[in-house]
Each structure stands twice: as structure tokens, then as C-alpha cells.
Amino acid sequence: MRRRTHVHAFTTGRVRRDRTTTAVAVETDRGPVLVDIGPVGSVGALEVHLEAPSSDLEDVWLVVVTHNDGDPAGGLAELLEHTDAVVAAHREEAPYVAGERDPIKSGEGRYPPVDVDLGFADGVRIPTLAGPMAVVPTLGHAPGNVSLSVSESGVLLAGDALVADGEAPLSGPKPEFTPEMARALESVGKLAALEIEHTRCYHGGDVDRGSDRIREIDNERRS
């Protein structure tokens, strides 16, 4: 019943010694959809890892950027040298990705801007071989930060709404990287309402934890 084999996560870079970045490729009838890329210089890692699901960079037809930080979006310009994929981001994130505004975390520097072809709204669903992949707004870490839920496979692509690079196997957003922490914690509550078996975090990668752990995180913030 579960089709996680169509959802592939792989490390594309490292922003600190203890903080890796994780892109996800989701298979579709048209080729892979990439969810986030990695920082500048990460396309080589993408190319290697995409061979696992028997794909090439040029097969990628859609890139979904969960938010405007340089670690998930920095490699976009280089990626588009290899593919004519459609670039999609929440409409609140599009001006930052496209260079109309500097990234909110300006200390990371201005990565090469890329035009956003599709500024999506809440509730967009992307057909995939793992089941429909639904956009879930998880605001707080960034103005239009999103996660993606593949409910038929029990998989959550959490972006930066949750992390898995600390002592706990799955944790809420980190205050030092989250401009609107109260809003980000409210977004955890939104994720807690979903039925999730397996979580893939942008920082920390695969975690075999889901709804029960996310509800624990939500309950902690309410107490």
C-alpha cells in the first residue's frame, strides 16, 4: 500500500560540520520532482544521487523550493544550466528567490537569483507515483515556508518546519534560525493534524517518526 520507494532523499551539502542539507526527488510519470536543491555548489551531488532512481538532471521537470534561504535555493541557477525545469515556490517566497528582495537571512549572502515560474497558493497538489503531494503552508521560518505531505505514502517532506539534526530524533523549529517562532510553532500544530508515518527533514534527513512525535512537539509548545 505504501509507496515510499518513489520518494528519494539524499544529502547535497553541509552548511556547518553538524548541519547537513537534504534534497528529495519524488518520481512522477513525467520524471522527477525535486524538493529543494542545496547550497551553491551542490548540483554535483544531485547528479550522482539522481542515478539511484535511474534519472538524470535533465529529466527533472519541476523544482519546488520550500523557502528562500540560501541552503535550499542556492543551487537553483546551476541546476537550470542542466534542465529547463519549472521552478515553483509559495508566492510569498518568489520575490526573494527571484532577486527582487534579498533573502531574509542576509548573513548567508545573495545566491544567484532565479525566476519563479509558478507562485503557488495553499493546498496545491502535485500528482506523483507516491500519491498526490500536497503543499502545506508552515509559516514562521520564512514568510511562505511550506512543507509537503504525500498522505498515501505516509510521508512528510518537512522542509525547515521540523529538524532532525539534534539530540532528539525529530524536533521543532530552532529559534536561532526562525524569525517568527510563535508562528512556526503554530505550523507544527498544523502538521500534527496530519497522518504521518515517516518524516524527511531538510536538516537531518530521514526520520522514521511521524504523527505521534509531531503531536508530542505540539503538546510541548502548548504546555
How far, CA to CA in Å, does 111 sit from each of 12, 15, 32, 131, 144? 16, 14, 24, 33, 18
211-222 vs 181-192: helix crossing angle, rounded to 10:
140
CA 141 vs CA 31, 46, 161: distances in Å: 30, 25, 7
The phi and psi torsions of 199 (rounded to 5 degrees) equal: -120, 135
Amino acid at site 55: S
- At position 164, the amino acid (one-letter code) is A
Each residue of 114-143: pLDDT tens digit? 999 999 877 799 999 999 999 999 999 999
Q: How far apart are CA 5 and CA 42, in angstroms?
A: 23
**Mean of pLDDT values over 165-171:** 81
- Tracing cell 518524516 back to the chain, one arrives at 199
Residues in the chain: 223
In this structure, of 96-100, 173-177, 180-184, 195-199, the range with the lowest mean pLDDT score is 173-177
154: left (phi over 0), alpha (psi -120 to 50) or beta: left
| Residue-wise pLDDT tens digits, 9-50 | 988 877 655 578 899 999 999 999 999 999 999 999 888 888
Residue with cell string 519563479: 116
Q: What angle do CA 113, 125, 189 make, to 5 degrees?
A: 90
β-sheet bridge partners, residue 120: 90
Domain 4-159 falls in which CATH fold? Metallo-beta-lactamase; Chain A (3.60.15)
- pTM score: 0.92
Lowest mean pLDDT among 53-57, 89-93, 96-100, 210-214: 53-57
Strand segments, DSSP code E, in the chain are: 7-16, 19-28, 31-35, 62-65, 86-90, 118-120, 125-126, 133-137, 146-150, 155-159, 198-201, 205-207
**Segments in the chain forming alpha helices (H):** 43-50, 70-73, 76-79, 94-97, 181-192, 211-222
Segments making up each domain of the chain, as ranges: 4-159
pLDDT of residue 1: 38
Confidence band of 60 (pLDDT split at 50, 70, 90)? very high
